[in-house]
Structure 1
């Protein structure tokens, strides 16, 4: 009997132990459930807050006038499609323009109100991207017809580009050509970004666009001579002409005397125009006010005429490096044949595509241009070239209108203490008796990057001197000194020591940066 009782006690203990274990497991499960509930509650609160925020935003958008919504929707458009490198470089195409979905199609699905905006403002549909690929012509016809129909009678901006297909076609689809013909009276802006082999088919139509104001042409293949296929009939409103990778634009027939903004650049070496052709083209543009030119290094054996452009205010020049014998810096030749009495903005970038600097003759040609023309220059940017110190000092001394000076990747011997001394000098204004800078009194931006030989102390002294003048025009200073690896640590320590002074200048409103860069 005692033995049975002990067995029952042991059994009861075992059962009690199992129940305790079960209770512990239940406690742990309840704890985990509580944690999961807390997590779910937090997620629910986060989502609810997000919904409330979006509802507030959407509520504000819904209350916006349709005119404001239409203005917002315009900024969602991608026009024209951006250029990207080709997937198959061996195809001979330097760039392609892959398509993307029109965001207006997604906007129309958001709400009836937004869809009504797209109907009420047909000009939203007037930006037409046509990507030529290996599609049947009727596919283009449906897409183009639908979008142009939605645009009502709004002036059209049309971009025709190549999607990168490697099919054998060398002509634009009939539907695209038909669009150019039937909608020509409504096209205000036209982009043609096509391989050179497509341009002969463009010539099948009379290129007559009564309201066209902006024309962008880009040969995206190894064929740069397509100007002969651009025989324009009637472009009475054309003002902006932008060409890329076309070397013989002088062979085409746009109304040169109407052009006010002209750009002729190239991505591939050898696709730039001959300098004598560029000068002849410039001479034909009597109304030109903004110009951007990219020129290859080339042999300069031709004789060119002097060209005067009385309306030109902004000129951007770049030279592209090419291998070969007898090739000369081309920018000095161009500038020596130009007279620009109204020039206010000049930007020069030398030897694009190679890690070397142009000869100092290029910057000297800038000095001679300003000296010869007495141009009211306010902005000068120069990159990747050597500079004679005397040329720079002459420009600082005799260009009182200069406001913005940016010199980048400059060689040795130019950026010396003489430069900071010239910028530091001040005179007494006879009227106000206040101090005024002796040279370039209106200078507000000074960016110097390269082999700098003046001390940081000299720079700070110059800045403080100009800041003490009345009025104080200096707003932005960026100085980056090229140093070799042996002086890199010392230069970093020097700059660090000047940080308190620089911080005071920043607190006073000057945007100032002093840094260094290792050179190989």
Structure 2
């Protein structure tokens, strides 16, 4: 095919020229060829070009007029549409909504957040960006500004200016709450220092707010906490919850001074987490507390200590919930001087074991919780071996058998005879988590908890352990037979009360082929019928520590 000079769209051009009767055939036949026009044709082509250019100019002007008209209509459309939107806004139900209902909506918008922050992308600041009336209503409602979380930076350019800005925004935010009691949560990242000037500003702000504090949480380094405790010297008439936590990533010997609350008549919940807890000098209204959380930071490089918890608990007759981190005591406790401690209202008790000492056994032997419903114990030590004291809580649990409904063992290497003897007495147990360490992965709990086939006289081949169990979570070795797991779930789902939730973690530290994925697939298939009947089934893999 010859190259056609000046031809960009042959088919389109041919169709258009063929429809123009004013172009002679002597010229149109030259289209799409390389032929040279004759002198006579060239003169006629020039005349045609002049006519077409004049016609093209006329059409271009018409297009410009049409475009101008379209632009005018579009502008008119936008103007009318703007008026329509304004008129529709006048008829909006939100405009006619009573102020008290709008206030309730604002309250729900703020309450639905985990923790309000001074962020313009979140409520309540986001609501103030809608219109003037919303902003006026927003600032007139103290209840929207009673809770605040401030995360202070760990280090950045213009760090001091950012700190001052955050403290100022905190001041402005809480000033809008008027005289309403407030909840303040202040966090500072691990491993960074706060300049003294900024600490003094923050301490002054907290001290100013002391008379209105309902909840206060401080997550700072021990050095910073030592500076920020000035508020404890003033009356705290509304304070119900106080949480003081060391945010350092590594333990240290520098601890804040003893907590001394001069006046906190409504304190009900106290949480203290330091590297070492010497509670002997604490002056706290222990007898008012309903919830007590005494933890401390531990690591593989640190063995923190604490004072005798029993002396503190004996002063807390109204406790309902208690979380303790148990390790070594600051002073040796003479077993002969230990007196039993009875807490008649405690229903939830959690213990973290950091290091094995004789104190753990003495502690559980002396403690009496006649209304305990939920118990959790966790070994947080990095030691791989078993603690001999990991069974010392079992007699305590047996004393609580009449009321206990939920137990949890995490990384506790309790022997099969010991754990089976204990749970055999817990007839009211509804929830059980048994997540042992690597030394007890091949336990016999699967077999013991499986109901046997009914015999001819209607009795069971095995004594039914934990007959009220509805939630069960176990950690086993990957060597556990699939038939044993399926048998346990089937027997529990075919009896009353039926098992509602079953979770199994396959853990392994063995060498060789990892068959856990295959076993999980097989178990899912075999237990699918019970899932369809409502069973919540969770089959997962875990590492050595879970």
What TM-score does the superposition give when structure 1 sets the normalisation length?
A: 0.72
2:375 maps to what in 1?
346
Using the TM superposition, give the Cα deviation of residue 449 of structure 1 relative to its aligned residue in structure 2, in angstroms.
0.6
Whole-angstrom distance in 1 between the partners of 2:167 and 2:537: 56
Match of 1:512 in 2: 537
Query: Shift of the alpha carbon at 1:511?
Result: 1.6
Q: Answer with 1 or 2: which has the greater Rg.
A: 2
Whether the 8 Å contact between 2:307 and 2:330 is mirrored in structure 1 is no
User: Do the aligned partners of residues 114 and 332 (structure 1) sit closer, same or farther apart at CA in structure 2, a change above 3 Å counting?
Assistant: farther
Residues 1:319 and 2:353 are matched in the alignment: yes
Partner of 2:342: 308
After superposition, residues 139-218 of structure 1 pair within 5 angstroms as 142-162=168-188, 166=193, 168-169=195-196, 172-174=199-201, 176-202=202-228, 204=230, 206-218=233-245
1:149 Cα offset (Å): 2.7
The 8 Å contact of residues 308 and 333 in structure 2, kept in 1 or not, is answered as no
Match of 2:431 among 404, 407, 418: 404
Residue by residue, what CA displacement relative to the aligned partner does 1:204-250 show, whole Å, maximum 9, x if unpaired?
A: 55232011101111233455654535321111000000112252351
Distance (Å, rounded) in 2 between the aligned partners of 1:476 and 1:247: 39
Deviations 1:287-342 (A, max 9, x none): 11111112346798432523222222111111236xxxxx6476445323322222
1:344-397: CA deviations, max 9, x gaps?
111111034x262542531x2221112244452111111112121112211231
Aligned mates of 2:218, 2:274 — CA distance in 1: 12
Unaligned runs of 5+ in 2: 17-87, 153-158
Q: Structure 1 residue 502: deviation in Å?
A: 1.3
Work out the CA distance in 2 between the residues paired with 1:153 and 1:165: 34
Match of 2:325 among 285, 290, 294: 294
Contact 1:450–1:481 under 8 Å retained in 2: yes
CA distance in 2, matches of 1:202, 1:17: 84
Secondary structure at the aligned position of 1:382 is classed as strand
Cα deviation, residue 407, structure 1: 1.2
Per-residue CA deviations over 1:18-39 (Å, capped at 9, x if unaligned) read: 6629959x9xxxxxxxxxxxxx
Instruction: Tell me what 1:41 maps to.
Output: none
Distance 1:201 1:513 in 2: 47
Q: Secondary structure at the match of 1:237?
A: coil
Structure 2 equivalent of residue 67 of structure 1: 104
Q: Which whole-Å CA distance do the structure 2 matches of 1:410 and 1:421 have between them?
A: 19
User: Is contact 1:263–1:291 with CA below 8 Å preserved after alignment?
Assistant: yes
Does residue 361 (structure 1) correspond to residue 389 (structure 2)? The answer is yes
- Report the counterpart of residue 290 of structure 2 in structure 1: 260
Give a deviation string over 1:162-187, Cα, whole Å, max 9, x none: 4776455188325x444444433321
Of residues 303-312 and 207-216 in structure 1, the stretch that sits farther from structure 2 once superposed is 303-312
Alignment match, 1:480 = 505
Change (3 A) 1:292 1:517: closer
Q: 1:377 to 1:137 in 2, by over 3 A?
A: closer
Name the SS of the counterpart of 1:244 in structure 2: strand
State the shift of 1:274 in Å: 3.5
Q: Distance in 2 between matches of 1:231 and 1:381?
A: 34
CA deviations on 1:455-488 (whole Å, 9 max, x unpaired) are: 321232232222222x333111122333434352
Could you tell me whether the CA contact under 8 Å between 1:485 and 1:519 is conserved in 2? no
Secondary structure in structure 2 of the residue aligned to 1:385: coil
Distance change (3 Å), C-alpha of 1:115 and 1:433: farther
2:527 to 502, 510, 514: 502
> Does structure 2 retain, via aligned residues, the 8 Å contact 1:423–1:437?
no
Greater Cα offset, 227-236 or 193-202: 193-202
Deviates more, 1:398-407 or 1:334-343: 334-343
Whether contact under 8 Å (1:122, 1:152) holds in the other structure is yes
- Post-superposition offset of 1:282: 2.0
Partner of 2:58: none
Cα distance in 1, alignment partners of residues 483 and 437 from structure 2: 20
Q: Which runs of 5+ in 1 are unaligned?
A: 1-9, 27-54, 82-98, 322-326
Could you tell me whether the CA contact under 8 Å between 2:423 and 2:465 is conserved in 1?
yes
With 110-119 and 239-248 compared, the bigger mean Cα shift is at 110-119
Tell me, in whole angstroms, the C-alpha distance in 2 between the residues paired with 1:241 and 1:426. 50
- Which shifted more, 244-253 or 159-168? 159-168
| Counterparts of residues 230-245 of structure 1 (less than 5 Å) | 230-245=259-274
2:41 is matched with none
Greater strand share, structure number: 1
Deviates more, 1:290-299 or 1:147-156: 290-299
| Structure-2-length-normalised TM-score | 0.69
Assess, with a 3 A threshold, how the Cα gap between structure 1 residues 272 and 210 changes in structure 2: closer, same or farther.
farther
2:284 aligned counterpart, secondary structure: coil
Q: CA deviation at 1:195?
A: 2.5
The aligned length equals: 448
Q: Retained in 2: the 8 A contact 1:426–1:437?
A: no
Cα pair distance change 1:398/1:20, threshold 3 Å:
same
Q: CA RMSD in A?
A: 4.2
